[in-house]
Structure 1
Amino acid sequence: MPKSATHVRFAVVGDIHVNKDSGGTLRGFFAQASEAADALLLCGDLTDYGTAEEAHILADELGAVSVPIIAVLGNHDYESGTPEVVVETLTRAGVRVLDGEACEIEGVGIAGIKGFAGGYGRGSLGAWGEPAIKMFVQEALHEAMKLESALAKLRMPRRIAMLHYSPIAGTIQGEPLEIFPFLGSSRLEEPLLRYPVDAVFHGHAHRGTLEGKTINGVPVFNVAKPLLTRSRPDRPPFLLYELPREPVEEAQGTLVATP
């Protein structure tokens, strides 16, 4: 697909789960995403166990990408206790890994965090009782504060947010109800209400729903690769989303049919 002179296109996907056997299996996929877009956004669970070996394999596979790559980590990238190794390896490969920071791609501002769990609405876990519960809730609040800080730095008219955990319950529908509290937190939605964006992307919920909306109507997309593969078998498993290059107030971002 030729690049657009009027729109900035983002290829977005999460939950790639690169493992020790992934070498040579993703270069074609990444090349296709790179060809279709102006930037590649990776929404966490980039590796399966967060090992140095997996990070190096992913970095090598990403060598097929010729556009900027922005990423956030997911829970799987923390499994080995050394997420900094994943970040360092990807950074050396030219990937910008966001963790409460913001960046800009062709006039579009991007805020990124991992996020955390805790539940939604009246079902949100409260910081009451045992210290372990309070620590759990504090982690969710800390991630929400990081997102707010990143969003507050964006001054451009077009803005998007990328996370791993979901900020709304709408895009995790389809997952077992019992695990909803572990798939995200409505605390992550609160900064998105104070600092509105054009679109939000997340992964994590492999059996969730492709699209939902925040309370104020911002589209939220679940871009977990297993979900995209299963839900759209006739398309490459990445979401192609575009925003106008010119900051036209009434224009909205749109999904693009991928080849």
Structure 2
Amino acid sequence: MGKLKVAAVADLHMKEDGSVSYTELFSEISKVADVLVIAGDLTDLGKPAEAELLAADLKYCTVPVVAVLGNHDHQCDAVEEISSILMKAGVHLLDGQAVEIAGIGFAGTKGFVGGFGRHMLGSFGETALKAMVSATVDEAMRLENALRKTSAQHSVVVLHYAPIAETVAGEPEEIYPFLGSSRFAETIDRFRVSAVVHGHAHKGTYKGTTPGGAPVFNVATHVEKPTGRPYAILEF
């Protein structure tokens, strides 16, 4: 079997006014990749109308599409409607699940905040703070459950929030706790993971590794990539 190419991108921020179109990008990706992964923030304000426009553009993508939602997709509290629209368009939308395509297992969830390493927030103090940490732990457990469901030779983790600080470097350090959490790297390193993709950190850095050695790629459209294009290409 030859190499399988996965195109990965994040932070499309589809707008309701139609000022953004991805038809050409999706057509291009269909010619150079076997699978497209979108790592969150598919819409700009989490409006169903934005999801409808993205679904229309995805008709120009002729390869399987795997995605997770991002924080922007939650803005208007219409997650169920947005998810339904995208799944009807054929998107494998992951929220604590896994899907296997062409021998590669994709495990995904949105992720959440909390900080990295010794600066990671602990569950102590006010109820609101403990609830935030609990939400991050819950997301990490959802990712673990997804990874347990795939037995493919290669596993790709899809997140929106970052699992390591290395790929958010370039953002102001003051906002690092809001860009991701090391709890996801801890989960990832309990499994054999071939690659991790995320977005969210628009001014971040393209590549890093978890403490256990899993390669991590920040594929936000704004981040410079070796392809010179808004998407990265990962080969397996």
| TM-score (normalised: structure 1) | 0.89
Q: 2:35 aligns with which of 31, 35, 39?
A: 39
Give 2:126's match in structure 1, choosing from 130, 144, 168.
130
Partner of 2:69: 73
Change (3 A) 1:120 1:24: closer
Quote the Cα distance in structure 1 between the aligned partners of 2:7 and 2:98.
Answer: 18
Alpha-carbon separation, structure 2, partners of 1:23 and 1:215: 41
Query: By how many angstroms is 1:217 displaced?
Result: 1.2
Counterpart of 1:161 in structure 2 is 157
One-letter code of the match for 1:138? Answer: S
Distance 1:23 1:94, change over 3 A: farther
Where does residue 239 of structure 1 map in the other structure?
232
In structure 2, distance between residues paired with 1:22 and 1:225: 18
Letter of the 1:31 partner, please give it.
Answer: S
The reply to whether residue 116 of structure 1 matches residue 109 of structure 2 is no
Deviation at 1:195, TM superposition (A): 1.0
CA-based RMSD: 1.2
Alignment map for 1:1-259 (pairs within 5 Å): 6-22=2-18, 25-228=21-224, 235-243=228-236
The alignment partner of 1:225 has SS state of coil
> Could you tell me which amino acid in structure 1 is paired with residue 191 of structure 2?
Y
* 1:240 match: secondary structure: strand
- What CA distance in whole angstroms lies between the structure 2 residues aligned with 1:179 and 1:24? 28
Report sequence identity in percent. Answer: 46
Which structure 1 residue ranges, 5 or more long, are not aligned?
Answer: 244-259
Distance (Å, rounded) in 2 between the aligned partners of 1:61 and 1:151: 30
Q: 1:193 to 1:24 in 2, by over 3 A?
A: closer
Shift of 1:235: 2.5
8 A Cα contact 2:14 2:20, kept in partner? no
Q: Which amino acid aligns with 2:25?
A: F
Distance in 1, matches of 2:117 and 2:228, equals 34
The unaligned stretches of length 5 or more in structure 2 are none
What's the secondary structure of 2:4's corresponding residue?
strand
Q: Distance in 1 between matches of 2:202 and 2:73?
A: 16
Secondary structure of the residue aligned to 1:220 is strand
Q: Retained in 2: the 8 A contact 1:24–1:61?
A: no
Counterpart of 1:219, as a letter, is P
Question: Normalising by structure 2, what TM-score?
Answer: 0.97
